[in-house]
Amino acid sequence: MNATSRTRLNQTPEWAALGKHREQLGSSHLRQLFADDPERGTGYTLRVGDLHLDYSKHLVTDETLTLLRELAAATDVFGLRDAMFRGDKINTTEDRAVLHTALRAPREAVIEVDGENVVPAVHAVLDKMAAFSDRVRSGEWTGHTGKPIKNIVNIGIGGSDLGPAMAYEVLRSFTDRSLTFRFVSNVDGADLHEAVRDLDPAETLFIIASKTFTTIETITNATSARDWLLTGLRAGQEAVAKHFVALSTNAGKVADFGIDTDNMFEFWDWVGGRYSYDSAIGLSLMIAIGPDRFREMLDGFHLVDEHFRTAPAEENAPLLLGLLGVWYGAFFDAQSHAVLPYSHYLSKFTAYLQQLDMESNGKSVDRDGNPVDWQTGPVVWGTPGTNGQHAYYQLIHQGTKVIPADFIGFAQPVEDLLPGLVAQHDLLMANFFAQTQALAFGKTPDEVRAEGVPEELVAHKTFRGNHPTTTILADRLTPSVLGQLIALYEHKVFVQGAVWNIDSFDQWGVELGKVLAKKIEPVLTEGQGGEQLDSSTAALVSTYRELRGR
């Protein structure tokens, strides 16, 4: 279906049917839905690879799910999915294919862009990454002075930082603990300062990760890192080759920076930045966990790609999760979506998903440039669950907002946990299960009274419940499971963009601030051009200059 021929989403009969159904559902409570269907807790579940997914605690009935699937059919979600997997240029505003799925396709797969099979090039880069990783891990790759590399510093931002930084944390128990990994993204010099201050330049490798190799934050940090290295080594430009490698699509700019393009690991314009950590952008992760584990992670991604590509609508997990988000945004006015992992290792997982989801679906015009008059992407937020319980869960339980939430947990603690700490895992997971139970079923005023609570406190101690959650449970946090989880979210975001008829693969919204920052910088440093600023910004800039003694 052509985007232009599409009926506007909120004018489709399927949308109207969902609106009517929402009215009928009224304030139906999960307590009732569970009472009506004793099988609900086992029936509303899906299995994808190693992921057990429970969606029974959602404000949906069989009819809701049918109507949502009809909306997906009317908006041709699967048609767009097939176009993506085929390599069609579905990122229309940038005229690009969207083929992160090719990054984890098996060697023998054939996926064409402009008539050329891209899979051999993907595997050639993976092989080059593997050879390089092995050389660093084994100590064979030495720095300018002949010392083996002990420290790896990834410099990148957005998709060139969040993915590897997140995955490194997630898979820490699989990493080579004799190596130190740091991730620098912020143009605030403090970031690089803290990353390198205790490192020996002779043992340090910088990985400069930038799809475009023009991003000001990354190039500025990379330039400062080069100065730090050459000063520390008391060496000239010739030392760069042993201490800098690049991950990029832009060989020209990499060479301009002074990095030997033999030490460049390539990817392609059909890989979006926020979909790129399974490309060359994952080099730091591959060095950390080794090529075999990295490949296991890619296999995990691929498993969910295949599920999304082939599973029927009724069993298709990304479709289901995407549609649930559409449901809450449109018909419950939910503004945000919480992702609450019950694993310390997933501490950066939600930050990663923020870019994936919000840069993809934070749009307000449709594919044809018409304003949308339906909600698009939610605010994604969250931190590891137990910490959140003692901070913001109060608002989820008793506040006024509808906040659908994903709870992610694992049956086993990581393998190398100190034996004395293993017992804590059951307590962690007891919290995990208790929270979704409390959110769904709450506590009625009568239940509170039955505990002998004085009448004036009953309202305060009542829990409305009826807060929707998805539970994702896996046996163990492995590289494959991480790949499965990320692919699940990637495709969920895809489904929502398809229904909302927006381009989930561009990011024009980041441009204006970049342009303005370029104009403001000389005003800060030289004091020239301030008259072109609005009065608020001009006054702030002038105060800043005063404080800097300029």
Ligand X SMILES: O=P(O)(O)OC[C@H]1O[C@](O)(CO)[C@@H](O)[C@@H]1O
Catalytic residue positions, numbered: 359, 390, 514
Minimum gap (Å) between residue 274 Cβ and ligand X: 6
Among 21, 274, 293, 467, binds ligand X (CB under 6 A): 274
| 160 sits near ligand X (criterion: CB under 6 A) | yes
Which helix (H) or strand (E) element contains residue 427? helix 424-441
On whether the CB atoms of residues 343 and 485 are closer than 8 A, the answer is: no
| 273 sits near ligand X (criterion: CB under 6 A) | yes
| 405 sits near ligand X (criterion: CB under 6 A) | no
Question: Which residues 452-511 are close enough to bind ligand X by CB under 6 A?
Answer: 507, 510
Encoded tokens for 207: 């990985």
Residues constituting the chain: 550
Taking the least distance from each CB to ligand X, the nearer of 226 and 467 is 226
Taking the least distance from each CB to ligand X, the nearer of 160 and 480 is 160
Taking the least distance from each CB to ligand X, the nearer of 159 and 282 is 159
End-to-end CA distance of the chain: 59
Minimum gap (Å) between residue 507 Cβ and ligand X: 5
Encoded tokens for 14: 């399927």
Angle at CA 7, nearest 5°, toward 335 and 322?
35
| 360 sits near ligand X (criterion: CB under 6 A) | no
Minimum gap (Å) between residue 282 Cβ and ligand X: 13
Minimum gap (Å) between residue 315 Cβ and ligand X: 32
Stretch of 38-46, 152-160, 252-260, 520-528 lying at the interface with ligand X (CB under 6 A):
152-160
Taking the least distance from each CB to ligand X, the nearer of 163 and 409 is 163
| 159 sits near ligand X (criterion: CB under 6 A) | yes
| 350 sits near ligand X (criterion: CB under 6 A) | no
Taking the least distance from each CB to ligand X, the nearer of 515 and 547 is 515
Who contacts 172 (Cβ-Cβ below 8 Å, separation ≥6)? 345
Q: Dump the DSSP string for 362-424.
A: ---B-TTSPBP-S--PPEEE---HHHHHTTTHHHHHHSS----EEEEEESS--TTS-GGGTTH
Minimum gap (Å) between residue 251 Cβ and ligand X: 14
For the stretch 116-123, contacts whose Cβ atoms lie closer than 8 Å and that sit 24 or more positions apart, written own/partner, are 118/87, 118/268, 118/270, 121/266, 121/268, 122/279
Question: Which residues 199-218 are close enough to bind ligand X by CB under 6 A?
Answer: 210-212, 215, 218
As a whole number of angstroms, the distance between CA 410 and CA 474 comes to 5
Packing angle, helices 62-74 and 479-500, rounded to 10: 70
| 157 sits near ligand X (criterion: CB under 6 A) | yes
Minimum gap (Å) between residue 350 Cβ and ligand X: 17
Taking the least distance from each CB to ligand X, the nearer of 45 and 212 is 212
Minimum gap (Å) between residue 257 Cβ and ligand X: 13
Q: Dump the DSSP string for 283-352.
A: HHHHHHH-HHHHHHHHHHHHHHHHHHHHS-GGG-HHHHHHHHHHHHHHHS---EEEEEES-GGGTTHHHH
Closest CA to 257 of 221, 284, 232, 233: 221
Minimum gap (Å) between residue 225 Cβ and ligand X: 15
Taking the least distance from each CB to ligand X, the nearer of 14 and 359 is 359
As a whole number of angstroms, the distance between CA 219 and CA 222 comes to 5
Residue 379: count other Cβ atoms within 10 Å of its Cβ.
Answer: 14
| 517 sits near ligand X (criterion: CB under 6 A) | no
Taking the least distance from each CB to ligand X, the nearer of 66 and 212 is 212
Number of residue whose CB is nearest ligand X: 273
Q: Sign of dihedral through CA atoms 337, 341, 347, 353?
A: negative
Quote the DSSP letter at residue 148.
Answer: B
Taking the least distance from each CB to ligand X, the nearer of 510 and 517 is 510
| 152 sits near ligand X (criterion: CB under 6 A) | no
Encoded tokens for 425: 């895992």
C-alpha of 104 from chain center: 17
3-state secondary structure of 181: strand
Minimum gap (Å) between residue 173 Cβ and ligand X: 27
Question: Which residues 276-335 are close enough to bind ligand X by CB under 6 A?
Answer: none
Which residues of this protein are in contact with ligand X, per CB under 6 A?
A: 157-160, 210-212, 215, 218, 273-274, 359, 507, 510
